[in-house]
Structure 1
Amino acid sequence: MSTTADQHRSATPLVTDGASSLLPDGTSSLLVDGELRPGANGTFAVVDPATEEVIGHAANASADDMDAAIAAARTAFDTTSWSRDPAFRAHCLRQLRDALQGHIEELRDITIAEVGAPKMLTSGPQLEGPIADLGYFADLAESYSWRTELGDASPMGIPTTRYTQREAVGVVGAITPWNFPHQINFAKIGPALAAGCTVVLKPAPDTPWCAAVVGAIAARETDLPPGVLNVVTSTDHELGAQLCTDPRVDIVSFTGSTETGRTVMASAASTLKKVFLELGGKSAFIVLDDADLQGACAMAGFAVATHAGQGCAITTRLVVPRERYDEAVAATRDTMAGLAPGDPRRSRTVCGPLISERQRDRVQSYIDLAVSEGGTIEVGGGRPAGQEKGWFIEPTLISGLDNTSRVAQEEIFGPVLVVIPHDGDDDAIRIANESTYGLSGMVYGSDPGRIQHVVDSVRTGTMGVNGGIWYSADVPFGGYKASGIGREMGVAGFEEYLETKAVATPK
């Protein structure tokens, strides 16, 4: 386990020694209409969640800054050839990918320091994976069938040739959270730009740098025309609401909590704009009675500790055969006990800090609630001993509660796993579906027929089987029920940013 001193030494050079050419003075800028500029409301502090220290500052935008960004995106869409030139869009996306890869170590340092993301994850979904995914969307812009022939017909006796063409929706308002900022930012920027849209990105105030440095690289090292990509960082959440209500914005793409998603949807309704929502989850990890129980429980414990459980699709309910409940609890406890939170800069760290003191207090309140509801803390339960700085919380396993408990029903967004017994496959399916959410899930078993029955019956947008990983640029991601509307990534995610136009000409 790392010490506070270790964390302080590794965080400090990022800004004070000018180690990053992306943040030479430790302060980032807005990107509006192709120009890097300060925020009208000054700056706000960027804090390292592993040390609780201020490591720099970000531009703090005002409503006027957001208005200028929306105007720039509208003008770029309406008055340039961007939306009609897929080859040029692919060129710019590949430029952006290559430029980002050229700064990968600086980006890695920034991501670890700002997000608290474990270093091991920056080789995958926290950084390198999403950057590489831009190439997928560049390829898609070039290969997509923009026109579909419908053949000839004679409606009302008039010989007619018909076809459909797909066109960009227009201006995208992208509102993103702090937990996987690069993955979520690029999952919106990539397909939106590939589709021919222009973008105004409003990232979470907890992680402004991850978005702002992308804006700086785009402005300095790519041929993206002014106004095509705008990045607006701010502590003012009303700027997100501004994107939702402004009639110049054609679609809002939001990732965050279900509660906020409802507000986004209601706000966007006033201008009847399209809405994509990727919201919360309380996903079930189902273990059938013919599964490798030890292996399954080890995987479940590892998954919930990863990035301190700060992932909407992480499985946070472990549903195990009742007759092997005690064995499952012991196996999971053993795994989680070996995943103590530590310095995210160390290559072997799995569980880093939570993003903020507010979030750590929230997670702790749920752990305390579990005890008051009659649950047992099998491992974890609070701040790690000996760590006075950093917003860390131990991976925590809770037993003794059923699926109706609040900690089994509500999204906690921390390294907290609840073990729930089931009485057979159909009961496990019932428990998995007994949730307002439907984002993801996992099933472990040996019989392919029984596994398929679970996959077919659990109402979620993604399902893993025996450790299978669905995350990839070409795989659509999204949820059922209160987990959202629409899909992100893949062709389905790309088409969220398209309209369909039917055309008929006389034969």
Structure 2
Amino acid sequence: MTILPEAKLYIDGIVRPAEGDRGFDVINPWTGDVAGRAADATSADVEAAIAAARRAFDQTDWSTNHALRLELVTKLRALFEANRPRLVALARFEAGSALGAVDKAQVGTALSGWDDLLRVFPRLAWEKDYGQAQGYGFTSKRTVVHEAAGVVGAITPWNVPLYVNVGKVVSALLAGCTVVLKPAPDTPGMGAIFGVLAAEAGFPAGVLNVVTSADPVMAGEILVTDPRVDVISFTGSTAVGKRIMEKGAPTLKRLFLELGGKSAKIVLDDAPNFAMEVMQSLLVFHAGQGCAVQSRLLVPRSRYEEALGALKMAYGGFAAKWGDPEDPGQVMGPVVSQKQLDRVLSYIELGKQEGATLLAGGSARPDKGGGFFIEPTCFVNVTNSMRIAREEIFGPVLVVIPYEDDEDAIRIANDSDYGLSGGVAGSEARAISVARRVRTGSVSVNGGLCIAGDLPFGGYKRSGIGREWGVEGIEEFLESKVIALRV
């Protein structure tokens, strides 16, 4: 039974079906049944969206009319608030969010992040006076102006779709860019709602366009290779990020890439409440489907057995607190799809083959329903050389690694292809000292909130290029131009 409204395209100011009325089913991760339908864009639909965005950027005052942009983006935010019940339904029945996660990363945090972007918008400096300078026998008065980069292709994932859509679309629109949004096939409705509400808000035709497609590659590759698209903003796997870099090279596409992570949480031996810090490290929120989750837990070898005891207690206590779609206190539901379930199970099997020990979980749970359920899982006796410690699993699988001292903990944390997020727990001065040496884009010290709408977010190494959110996230969509006047 379909429970979600049909997700349609939004191209050149019109909400419409795909060419030939093509569509595809959207699957409910809780049940495995069809939750709704979405328009299946053709290459011609994507071309039309790019042409509309190019025309709106080149032939209207959108890029220079700061007041209009702020007015319409603020109006769109109010419409999203008015449609919060629809957003909740999309988060639940497209992304598989548990109710306890809806008002956090899925919907609540996304909308509060939107508010943060509106708050920081006045801090943008559109011009900067560099004063006068002598050169070649005359004086020049220099000014740097910041202006919109152009047409943006925003390619977004399925795990926290509203949050990522807001981070890209709202930032790009505030910067003065026009946008083609291509959401993931698993969560098309959370992209399509931008078109429906933009039309209601009265956005100029072509400023924002949304194309949904069953094909995870086609629309994205057109955006990446089309010379009319100036910027690609992508969140997803490192493998796809590499392909985007390759495909975008012929047109020297400007890229923002927020990619994978294998973030470490280091619990120091002087953590004020060592056992509690360890117990709170369960990887269960939204079934571990987050790029910035702390999926490697590093604990001192001197307290390793104590840590394992705390984890065993924590996982045992959590066993009955997940998988109920109607319980507002639960934060873990299914993974998003059969494909993702198979991926996570394959990594669990790999962990066993590598010699790690299952402390908890490790199995699919069809008794929870017809959807894609897998137990909260924890491996111990893990070394950092194992693939389960080095590769992004994107599921509820925590690996626990012992370390000898602070230097060893820092070495293990940094011995990764990734550098997106992380955490350190311990006495304040020591924990901050360790955090400063971990090569990652954000670090939480003793539970500090290091990811928020007014803070830049992004990674080191193979975790990506550039920063999203905050003033820096809007600036990703700006170019700098020097104007020098001979006086």
- TM bin (shorter chain): over 0.9
Instruction: Say which of 181, 184, 188 aligns to 1:204.
Output: 184
**Which residue in the other structure is 1:14 paired with?**
3
Distance 1:239 1:339 in 2: 41
Deviations 1:85-143 (A, max 9, x none): 11110101110100010011121112111111111222122112222332333344444
Shift in Å at residue 385 of structure 1?
Answer: 6.5
Shift in Å at residue 336 of structure 1?
Answer: 2.2
Instruction: Say which of 330, 333, 351 aligns to 2:312.
Output: 333
Distance 1:496 1:48 in 2: 35
1:127 lines up with 2:89 in the alignment: no
Secondary structure of the equivalent of 2:105?
coil
**Which residue in the other structure is 2:447 paired with?**
467
Does the 8 Å CA contact 2:121/2:471 hold for their aligned counterparts? no
1:352 lines up with 2:333 in the alignment: yes
Shift in Å at residue 249 of structure 1?
Answer: 0.2
Does the 8 Å CA contact 2:2/2:34 hold for their aligned counterparts? no
Instruction: Say which of 285, 303, 324 aligns to 2:303.
Output: 324
- 1:62-77 correspondence to structure 2 within 5 Å: 62-77=42-57
The one-letter amino acid of 1:161's match is K
Secondary structure of the equivalent of 2:284?
helix
Secondary structure of the equivalent of 1:286?
strand
TM-score by length of 1: 0.93
Does the 8 Å CA contact 1:49/1:390 hold for their aligned counterparts? yes
Structure 2 stretches lacking a partner, 5+ long: none
The one-letter amino acid of 1:344's match is P
Secondary structure of the equivalent of 1:82?
coil
Secondary structure of the equivalent of 1:476?
coil
Instruction: Say which of 362, 380, 397 aligns to 1:416.
Output: 397
Distance 1:147 1:140 in 2: 16
**Which residue in the other structure is 2:229 paired with?**
249
1:229 lines up with 2:208 in the alignment: yes
TM-score by length of 2: 0.97
Does the 8 Å CA contact 2:442/2:451 hold for their aligned counterparts? no
Distance 1:469 1:139 in 2: 18
Distance 1:202 1:180 in 2: 14
Higher mean C-alpha displacement, 136-145 vs 232-241: 136-145
Does the 8 Å CA contact 2:139/2:486 hold for their aligned counterparts? yes
- 1:92-491 correspondence to structure 2 within 5 Å: 92-220=72-200, 222-236=201-215, 237-291=217-271, 292-301=273-282, 304-340=283-319, 341-384=322-365, 386-446=367-427, 448-491=428-471
Distance 1:387 1:125 in 2: 23
Distance 1:89 1:124 in 2: 27
Structure 1 residues 468 and 138 mapped into 2: Cα distance closer, same or farther (>3 Å)?
closer
Over aligned residue pairs, what C-alpha RMSD do you find? 1.3
1:58 lines up with 2:38 in the alignment: yes
Secondary structure of the equivalent of 1:159?
strand
Distance 1:147 1:48 in 2: 48
Shift in Å at residue 323 of structure 1?
Answer: 1.4
Does the 8 Å CA contact 1:200/1:229 hold for their aligned counterparts? yes
Distance 2:325 2:426 in 1: 33
Structure 1 stretches lacking a partner, 5+ long: 1-11, 16-22
Secondary structure of the equivalent of 2:34?
strand
Distance 2:49 2:195 in 1: 13
Does the 8 Å CA contact 1:93/1:194 hold for their aligned counterparts? yes
Aligned residues: 482
Distance 2:316 2:194 in 1: 37
Shift in Å at residue 78 of structure 1?
Answer: 0.2
**Which residue in the other structure is 1:8 paired with?**
none
Distance 1:28 1:493 in 2: 28
**Which residue in the other structure is 1:9 paired with?**
none
- The percentage of aligned residue pairs carrying the same residue is 48
Deviations 1:361-412 (A, max 9, x none): 1101111111111111111111237235110100001011211011011100
Distance 2:106 2:40 in 1: 24
Secondary structure of the equivalent of 1:105?
helix
Secondary structure of the equivalent of 1:365?
helix
Structure 1 segments of 4+ aligned residues over 3 angstroms from their partners: 138-143
Secondary structure of the equivalent of 1:443?
strand
Shift in Å at residue 339 of structure 1?
Answer: 2.7
Shift in Å at residue 484 of structure 1?
Answer: 0.3
